[in-house]
């Protein structure tokens, strides 16, 4: 009886902490969006750096069946965002280069872990047999999109990083991973058509468009609207990703069995 009381008390404490942290994350997100619009730089930079670690913490305490790939995605993306602190503390070329490489490599790793999370439940053999034309079109579009975005980045004339060849490799790999994330999410939705798959697809769409807006804000135009759109899309992406993390796929066998029982009754 004593152990049962302790267990119930512990679960209540965890639930209360989870609800409180959820309210904090949601409130800070709204403050962050408002501060971006009002150009309150010190505030929005601090919030941008702190939101992802808080979301990672919320995932750890609120989701019982934690996924190692999704957790790795949150951790590495948080590391990528934390590199912004280096730019605030020191504006030297060395720190700028360090922030660039660590931030981009961490984000690439984050997207790769998310791709692994989505890909692990896809039967690619079945997909290739059913939708060969769809996969081929996606593949061609990915190649064109990567080429287009990478060319814009390289020809911008704004590169002040240490090694040009390494920069090209990083930018190309980054764009490949982003487009691969979208393609895998779309294939997953086609093969499953569930709420979890839909949230993953919507999150990936928001990620891709936010990355496009970020490239546009860096190399094409400095309009405030572009930067604000990038931030809003990024927030929406992580909202969809967090929602899907609390869902699970329903096995088709169980679904069919329940349908048959319904007909029998």
Q: Residue 33 in contact with residue 231, Cβ under 8 Å?
A: yes
Name the domain count of the chain.
1
- What domain range is 102 assigned to? 90-249
Q: What is the mean pLDDT of residues 210-239?
A: 81
d(CA 142, CA 165): 22
User: Is 8 or 127 the better-scoring residue by pLDDT?
Assistant: 127
Instruction: Name the pLDDT band for 212 (thresholds 50, 70, 90).
Output: confident
Position 154 in a domain: yes
Which whole number is the average pLDDT over 82-93? Answer: 73
The CA R_g of the chain, rounded to the nearest whole Å, is 21
Count other Cβ atoms within 10 Å, centred on residue 48. Answer: 18
C-alpha–C-alpha distance, residues 14 and 265, integer Å: 41
Give a yes or no: residue 105 inside a domain. Answer: yes
Is residue 170 within 8 A of residue 104, CB to CB? The reply is: yes
Integer CA distances (angstroms), 163 to 80, 166, 168, 189, 224, in order: 20, 5, 9, 39, 30
The residue whose two tokens read 């993390």 is 245
Q: How many CB atoms lie within 10 A of CB 81?
A: 20
**Tokens 């941008």, located at residue:** 48
* Cβ atoms < 10 Å from Cβ of 179: 22
Residue 27 lies in a domain: no
For residue 237, give Cα distances in angstroms to 19, 44, 208.
21, 18, 9
Instruction: Give the separation between CA 179 and CA 150, rounded to whole angstroms.
Output: 12
Q: Is residue 115 part of a domain?
A: yes
Average pLDDT value for residue range 187-197: 85
25 part of a folded domain: no
Do the domain assignments include residue 235? yes
What CA–CA distance (Å, rounded) separates 208 from 179? Answer: 7
Q: Work out the end-to-end distance of the chain between its first and last CA atoms, rounded to an integer number of angstroms.
A: 41
What number is the average pLDDT over the span 30-51? 74
Residue 89 banded pLDDT, cuts 50, 70, 90: low
pLDDT digits 0-9 by tens, 241-262:
988 888 877 654 333 433 334 4
For residue 24, being part of any structural domain is answered with no
Reported as a pLDDT band with limits 50, 70 and 90, residue 157 is low
Least confident of 14-23, 48-57, 71-80, 225-234: 14-23
Structural domain includes residue 240? yes
CA atoms within 13 A on the CB side of 238: 24
Distance CA 40, CA 102 (A): 26
CB 190 within 8 A of CB 134: yes
| 117 or 223, which is more confident | 117
Rounded to a whole number, what is the largest CA-CA distance in the chain? 73
Supply the mean pLDDT for the chain: 78
- pTM comes to 0.80
């Amino acid at each position: 009886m004593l152990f049962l009381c302790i267990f119930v008390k512990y679960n209540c404490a965890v639930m209360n902490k989870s609800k409180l942290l959820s309210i904090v994350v949601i409130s800070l997100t709204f403050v962050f969006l408002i501060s971006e619009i009002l150009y309150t730089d010190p505030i929005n930079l601090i919030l941008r750096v702190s939101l992802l670690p808080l979301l990672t913490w919320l995932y750890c305490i609120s989701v019982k069946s934690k996924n190692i790939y999704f957790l790795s995605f949150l951790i590495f993306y948080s590391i990528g965002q934390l590199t912004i602190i280096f730019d605030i503390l020191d504006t030297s070329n060395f720190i700028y280069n360090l922030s660039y490489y660590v931030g981009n490599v961490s984000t690439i790793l984050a997207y790769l872990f998310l791709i692994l999370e989505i890909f692990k439940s896809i039967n690619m053999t079945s997909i290739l047999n059913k939708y060969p034309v769809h996969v081929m079109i996606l593949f061609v579009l990915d190649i064109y999109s990567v080429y287009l975005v990478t060319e814009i980045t390289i020809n911008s004339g704004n590169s002040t990083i240490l090694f040009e060849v390494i920069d090209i490799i990083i930018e190309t790999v980054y764009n490949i991973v982003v487009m691969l994330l979208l393609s895998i999410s779309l294939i997953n939705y086609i093969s499953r058509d569930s709420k979890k798959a839909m949230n993953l697809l919507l999150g990936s769409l928001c990620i891709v468009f936010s990355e496009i807006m970020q490239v546009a804000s860096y190399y094409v135009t400095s309009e405030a609207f572009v930067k604000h759109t990038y931030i809003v899309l990024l927030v929406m992406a992580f909202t969809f990703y967090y929602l899907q993390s609390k869902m699970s796929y329903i096995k088709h066998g169980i679904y069919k069995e329940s349908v048959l029982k319904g007909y029998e009754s």
